[in-house]
Copies of this chain bind each other. A is one copy, B any other.
């Protein structure tokens, strides 16, 4: 199992690296409930210290489907597809996804993924609590004069 590499860290931030996206299969984890090894998946909440999201990378091998459908209790998920092509199903709707596809699923949507292609299907999953975001972007952000160190 390849570890997530720590780049830099202090109280205000943590920077890590999962390595090249084409090498995600070097990451694996043990599922906390059924104790099976999941290859090609890496979770980032713990290594980055994130408090508003659980973000994961996943590489699903060619001609492989996720072994289960699932839903959530409180959390929305957004799937961001970076490489490959496949089929995404929510409830009884099934549609094609590829590089640049983004799917937002409400907690009770029953979701599954099938990599129908000859290449790995590489994607990011962002889990966050439904309805948790208040102000955002420019309403929450503030520009600050600051000296670049580069």
Contact = CB atoms under 8 A, between A and B. Distances in A.
A146 B69 contact: yes
A65 to B, nearest CB: 7
A73 B10 contact: no
A60 B44 CA distance: 24
Given A12-B91, A101-B7, A150-B114, A50 B70 contact: no
A97 to B, nearest CB: 7
Interface residues of A, number: 93
Interface string A42-79: 01110011111111000000000100111111111010
A142 B72 contact: yes
B70 A104 contact: no
Contact of A142 (B70, B95, B109, B145): B70
Interface string A79-120: 010100001111111111111111111101111101010000
15 contacts: A10-B91, A11-B106, A12-B106, A18-B102, A43-B137, A50-B76, A51-B130, A53-B78, A68-B143, A69-B145, A89-B148, A92-B149, A114-B150, A128-B133, A132-B133
